Amino acid sequence: MVKETKNIICIGCPMGCPLTVEIEDGKIKSITGYTCKRGEEYAKKEVTNPRRTVTSIVPVVAGELDMVSVKTKTDIPKNKIKDCMLALKNLKVDAPIDIGDVIIENVCETGVPIIATKAVKRR
Amino acid sequence: MINHDIVIIGGGPAGLAAAISCYENGNQDIIILERDNSLGGILNQCIHNGFGLHTFKEELTGPEYAARYVAKVQSLGIDYRLNTMVIDISKDKVVSSINETDGLMQIQAKAIILTMGCRERSRGALNIPGYRPAGIFSAGTAQRYVNIEGYMPGRQIVILGSGDIGLIMARRLTLEGALVKMVCEIMPYSGGLKRNIVQCLDDYNIPLRLNHTVTKIFGKERVTGVMVSEVDAFRQPIPSTEEYVECDTLLLSVGLIPENELSRKAEVAINQKTQGPEVDESLSTSIPGIFAAGNVLHVHDLVDYVSMEAALAGKNAVKYVQGLLKTGLSIVIESKNGVRYTVPGTINPDNAEDITVVRFRTSDVYRDAYLSVYLDDERVMHLKKRILTPGEMEQIVIPKKWFAERPNLKKITIMVEKE
């Protein structure tokens, strides 16, 4: 039996309740420290499947701006953030670019594309 | 002299929302003057997500949020000038500006909406001893370098102040390969949103040192390190706690100040607490016909509220031009016991909408306290709050019917109560 305790801080509201999640063999055994329903839900999601939206920039060739801002279209698993940043490294895109244009189809096998969040006209 | 009904100073989120609101409320003779080379203001460099949850029910990045408003302004055909610096506003509502094509331009306005936003507090305001080496940036300047220009300001970074921009930049610089050694906060609590502390610091194991500040900056040509000290209850550094931290960059995220040089030129009365104009329920300043909204008025946490506030200013500017804004006795809103200020500061019941949103910040952290509203001596609202913190703006809603029910009402008091 593998026991693990995770301490996280709830982001549901400014209270920032310190939550403790006990995990046994990959399953949540108990959640303590929350003071509302949202805290419990947050703890479950944060422990079993933490996800984040990643945002960054990519250099633009022949654009009116030098950089275009980009994001993962939806959130991706938290442990893929670093790989996602590496995938964006050394990448360049050609202007023109529109908001929503796909920059990388399926970043790091997450099934999530990276899209532009700014329009850049051709210089 | 050119004539326009409504001149909007600044094309950031507040200016854009104000312009759209003016148009939709029936006045199309509007012009936006923007000093940068594009509309959208500071949102253009806020490439992180989390904008627009209230307005669009989805999480957008800053540029996406701005683009929606810019598209609307353009589709309505609202006039705007870029690269145009407003240099003066007179109390007679003459707006003087300069740009490369029009030269000096003077516009006689019937109404003006101030939407200039805010500025970051700089090193000069902090009195940190040391030389003036390269490597000291405000967090927003660093954000511009990284996100717009594509430059890294440094490799080993200490951040002073835990405002949201500092937290966002701690994550951003980490993702770009820098080592963010710590975030120091002189107060016993962070001024940033809880979500940013978790997702920008905790996610990357960046320590947040509460009750700590930077007491000296080392380096002559370039920053080589900083002295970090713990502070006592009076925010004075404790000498025995000094710790040298090697770094090449110091970011300052130590507060935002509404930018009111122009407002002062027009002799608009400034509130000492917010450093923004004194306004009434219509967001009219002390000078009739000059309105203010967004961060020029008081610094907001969420752009959604900036947009809402600016839409109200736009609507009332149109009313003013039509001569529909009433003058008369106003009810004063007094902020007391832990409520630092309120926006608006007065309400004229004749002009009040069905509901008046009053926004404010508390001066300290309160747990399990009550937010109370008194109409003269009668307590009409008593809301239990699990937490109140200066880092999160609060609001209460005042229904118009309260005024109808109490024709002799003189004063509204908003305060924090223990029970």
Provide the residue ranges of all domains of chain B, joining segments of one domain with +.
1-120+255-325, 122-254, 328-419
What is the reported pLDDT for B124?
83
- A26 has pLDDT over 90: no
First to last CA, chain A: 62
The secondary structure of B248-265, three-state, reads CEEEECCCEEECCHHHHH
Mean predicted confidence (pLDDT) in B59-83: 97
What is the reported pLDDT for B193?
83
pLDDT in tens, B250-269: 999 999 999 999 999 999 99
CA distance B281 to B319: 13
- A4 has pLDDT over 90: no
Q: Would you call B67 and A55 a contact, using CB atoms and an 8 Å cutoff?
A: no
CB atoms within 10 A of CB A19: 22
Cα dihedral A33, A37, A41, A42 in deg (nearest 10): -60
Distance from CA of B78 to the nearest CA of A (A): 20
Kindly identify which residue of chain B lies nearest to residue A83, measuring between CA atoms: B175
Kindly identify which residue of chain B lies nearest to residue A12, measuring between CA atoms: B195
CA distance B153 to A59: 17
Q: In the structure encoding, which two tokens stand for residue B290, read together?
A: 């000059």
Q: Which fold has domain A55-116?
A: CPE0013-like fold (3.10.530)
CA distance B144 to A35: 39
A113 upstream amide cis, omega within 30 of 0: no
The answer to whether B332 contacts chain A (CB < 8 Å) is no
What are B97's strand-pairing partners?
Answer: B86, B105
CA distance B305 to B52: 9
Residues of B in contact with A53 (CB under 8 A): 49, 59
pLDDT in tens, B9-63: 999 999 999 999 999 999 999 999 999 999 999 999 999 998 998 889 888 999 9
What is the reported pLDDT for A101?
97
Sequence-ordered alpha helix ranges (H) in B301-377 = 303-321
In order, the DSSP letters of A17-45 are -EEEEEEETTEEEEEES--SHHHHHHHHH
A18-24 vs B331-336, strand pairing mode? unpaired
pLDDT in tens, A72-113: 999 999 999 999 999 999 899 999 999 999 999 999 999 999
CA distance A51 to A80: 9
The answer to whether A78 contacts chain B (CB < 8 Å) is yes
A27-32 vs A51-52, strand pairing mode? unpaired
| A interface test, pick of B43, B198, B384 with most A CB neighbours within 10 Å | B198
Helices and strands in chain B, H and E counts: 9, 27
CB atoms within 10 A of CB A28: 14
What is the reported pLDDT for A38?
85
Q: Would you tell me the crossing angle of helices B303-321 and B62-75 to the nearest 10 degrees? A: 20
From residue A60, give the alpha-carbon distance in Å to each of A109, A120, B146: 24, 8, 14
- B4 has pLDDT over 90: yes
The answer to whether A81 contacts chain B (CB < 8 Å) is yes
Say what the ipTM of the complex is. 0.90
R_g of chain A, CA atoms, integer Å? 19
**Cβ atoms B70, B12 nearer than 8 A:** no
**Cβ atoms A40, A62 nearer than 8 A:** no
Q: In the structure encoding, which two tokens stand for residue B315, read together?
A: 């609507």
CB-side exposure of B88: number of CA atoms within 13 Å? 10
Q: Tell me the one-letter amino acid at B13.
A: P
Q: How far is CA B296 from the centre of its chain?
A: 6
Kindly identify which residue of chain B lies nearest to residue A55, measuring between CA atoms: B48
Share of chain B above pLDDT 90, in %: 89
- A13 has pLDDT over 80: no
From residue B219, give the alpha-carbon distance in Å to each of B125, B127, B148, B400: 20, 16, 28, 59
* Domain B122-254 classification at class level: alpha beta
The answer to whether B147 contacts chain A (CB < 8 Å) is yes
pLDDT in tens, B287-324: 999 999 999 999 998 899 999 999 999 999 999 999 99
In order, the DSSP letters of B170-204 are HHHHHHTT-EEEEEEESSSS-SS-HHHIIIIIGGG
Q: Which residue has the tokens 């960046």?
A: B206
| B interface test, pick of A35, A47, A69 with most B CB neighbours within 10 Å | A69
Q: Would you call B194 and A13 a contact, using CB atoms and an 8 Å cutoff?
A: yes
Q: Which fold has domain B1-120+255-325?
A: FAD/NAD(P)-binding domain (3.50.50)
pLDDT band with cut points at 50, 70 and 90 for residue B160: very high
A67-72 vs A55-61, strand pairing mode? antiparallel
- Count of CB pairs separated by less than 8 Å, A with B: 75
R_g of chain B, CA atoms, integer Å? 22
**Cβ atoms B41, B66 nearer than 8 A:** yes
Residues of A in contact with B194 (CB under 8 A): 9-11, 13-16
| CA nearest to B22, candidates B118, B109, B117 | B109
What is the reported pLDDT for A6?
87
Residues of A in contact with B146 (CB under 8 A): 57
What is the reported pLDDT for B77?
97
What is the reported pLDDT for A25?
86
- Residue B354 CB partners (closer than 8 Å, separation 6+): B399, B400
Share of chain B above pLDDT 70, in %: 100
* B122-254 and B1-120+255-325 share a CATH fold: yes
Mean predicted confidence (pLDDT) in B183-191: 92
Mean predicted confidence (pLDDT) in B355-383: 94
Q: Would you call B47 and A71 a contact, using CB atoms and an 8 Å cutoff?
A: yes
Q: In the structure encoding, which two tokens stand for residue A14, read together?
A: 């400014």
**Mean pLDDT, chain A, integer:** 92
Share of chain A above pLDDT 90, in %: 65
CA distance A58 to A107: 14
Mean predicted confidence (pLDDT) in B383-409: 91
CA distance B204 to B198: 9
pLDDT band with cut points at 50, 70 and 90 for residue A17: confident
Mean predicted confidence (pLDDT) in B210-239: 96
CA distance A75 to A89: 19
Query: Is residue B55 within a helix (H) or strand (E), and if so which, with residue range?
Result: helix B53-56
| CA nearest to B296, candidates B15, B92, B81, B52 | B15
pLDDT in tens, B94-138: 999 999 999 999 999 999 999 999 999 988 888 888 889 999 999
Distance from CA of B117 to the nearest CA of A (A): 22
Residues of B in contact with A9 (CB under 8 A): 194, 197-198, 202
Query: Is residue A9 within a helix (H) or strand (E), and if so which, with residue range?
Result: strand A3-9
Q: Which CATH architecture has domain A3-49?
A: Single Sheet (2.20)
